Amino acid sequence: MSTINTNFIVSPRWILPVIPRNSLLENHSLVVIENKIAHILPTADIPEKYPELTHLELPNQLLLPGLVNTHGHAAMALLRGYADDFELKTWLAEHIWPVENRLVDFDFVYDGTTLAIAEMVCSGTTTVADSYFFPNASAKAYIDHGFRAQVGLPIIHFPNAWANTEEEHINKGLGVRDTLKNQKLITPALAPHAPYSVTNAGFEQVRMYAEQLEMPIHLHLHETAAEVSDAIAETSKRPIQRMKELGILSPSLQAVHMTQITPQEMGELSQRQTHIAHCPASNLKLASGFCPVSDLMSHHVNVALGTDGAASNNNLDMIEEMKIAALMAKGMTGDASSLPVHQVIEMATINGAKFLGLEDKIGSLEPGKCADMISVDLSALKFQPMHNPASDLLYAASGDQVCHVWIDGEHQLSNRTLTNMDTARMRANARQWQAKILS
């Protein structure tokens, strides 16, 4: 872990706190005391109030909350570029699942998750909702590197390297949960894979444990038109109707993708306060469909952003994801005012925090919240002249402009350099896994 003092002051050119909405502060400073945001004050007032604190000045940089990635399969960073240009069913059944069955184990997940953590930190993500096999390995990677994560406990009725039956998945997952109860930055979640890969009996257990243990349910749902039509052919029900009847459709549900939704279903999602993770880049690449974000928001449904795994994106850059989400919404609706700048930034910050039930801790820069924050360097020529820093963040920047990252007050990225990760070792591990994957 970083040894940087967690009592310090950051003075950027601009602060985008997210709350209040549409606000942008210029020439203000943020004070961190014991890992928490203590004050946001005019920079001119700082020296006399806090003469003893370390003071980091960031001219021409924008400070904002750390980005929240609400859906990913972090270990799949090791499968980046392995199987491109296939539709979802072929991609999974003929390429991804076979290589996973052959190679995925504790070390694969630990090394892949570590690689993803480095990429996420370098591009401004400070929290992720992760779902993959061997959650004990991914949790260890997050803990070892001080990264905030929701760790999904996978449930699927197909046998795999992690477990052979639904019952075994659930039992092993609950065992992992018990080991994570006292971890400050880790939240466990039940992660049934999808309606087509989990039985009714499995979902009934998921609902029971979600209620008893107050755990969220992270589920791929209505990802493609084929998923919905196949379900109707098999059960005479749309998957979302089946989830409703099984008691899964609730405030605990984190529904991922949701590209096929009727107006009636939007009303039910709103009524049940279900959260949605929108993954625009992955959905475009796999030709899965389009999540009607603007319509969902008009129904007061909380919609956040996710990258999905690097095998279907092919990066974990949430700033790029914001831009794609904004452009996709405008193209879908034919309305250039759909998803304006600050609304998209909210999707990647405070909406993500609400999705994870962490809005009291992260998602905005407010006194009392954890110091999860990033700075973006807007000094390059491509940002000039600077009419609107928030707009330039969304439409002109990428994760490459992220300069500093703090998670829970710990300085994880300093001047674009990772402070507590061995990049040479990660590169060597990635090369070794590449050889095994291609062998």
pLDDT tens digit string along 152-189? 999 999 999 999 999 999 999 999 999 998 999 999 99
Superfamily of domain 8-65+373-418, CATH level 4: Urease, subunit C, domain 1 (2.30.40.10)
Quick check: 434 and 82 in contact, CB under 8 A?
Answer: no
pLDDT of residue 271: 97
pLDDT of residue 6: 78
The 10s digit of each residue's pLDDT in 285-316 is 999 999 999 999 999 999 999 999 999 999 99
Using a pLDDT cut of 70, give the percent of the chain over it: 99
pLDDT of residue 281: 97
- DSSP code of residue 66: P
pLDDT of residue 88: 86
CA neighbor of 194 nearest in space, from 186, 185, 203: 203
pLDDT of residue 89: 87
Q: In sequence order, what are the residues at sequence separation of 6 or more whose Cβ sits closer than 8 angstroms to the Cβ of residue 286? A: 86, 87, 88, 91, 312
Q: In which band, very low, low, confident or very high, does the pLDDT at 1 lie, cut at 50, 70 and 90?
A: very low
Quick check: 124 and 404 in contact, CB under 8 A?
Answer: no
My answer on whether omega of the bond before 389 falls inside 30° of 0, hence cis, is no
Class assignment of domain 67-355?
alpha beta
Beta strands in 148-207 (DSSP E): 148-155, 186-192
Please state the φ and ψ torsions of residue 81, each to the nearest 5 degrees: 80, 5
Q: How many CB atoms lie within 10 A of CB 416?
A: 13
Q: In which band, very low, low, confident or very high, does the pLDDT at 5 lie, cut at 50, 70 and 90?
A: low
What is the rounded distance in angstroms from the CA atom of residue 241 to the CA atom of residue 252?
A: 16
- Bridge pairing between strands 217-221 and 253-257: parallel
pLDDT of residue 108: 98
Amino acid 170 reads I
What is the rounded distance in angstroms from the CA atom of residue 14 to the CA atom of residue 387?
A: 12
DSSP letter for each residue of 303-321: EEE----GGGSS---HHHH
The 10s digit of each residue's pLDDT in 335-392 is 999 999 999 999 999 999 999 999 999 999 999 999 999 999 999 999 999 999 999 9
Helix (H) or strand (E) segment spanning residue 341: helix 341-347
Provide the mean pLDDT of the chain: 96
What is the rounded distance in angstroms from the CA atom of residue 277 to the CA atom of residue 383?
A: 30
**Average pLDDT, integer, range 263-272:** 97
Domain ranges across the chain = 8-65+373-418, 67-355
Pair of tokens at residue 267? 């009303």
The 10s digit of each residue's pLDDT in 114-164 is 999 999 999 999 999 999 999 999 999 999 999 999 999 999 999 999 999
What is the rounded distance in angstroms from the CA atom of residue 277 to the CA atom of residue 416?
A: 28
What is the rounded distance in angstroms from the CA atom of residue 193 to the CA atom of residue 215?
A: 16
Burial of 382-407, coded b for 16+ CB within 10 Å and e otherwise, reads ebeeeeebbebbbeebebbbbbbbbb
Specify the pTM: 0.97
pLDDT exceeds cutoff 70 at 3: no
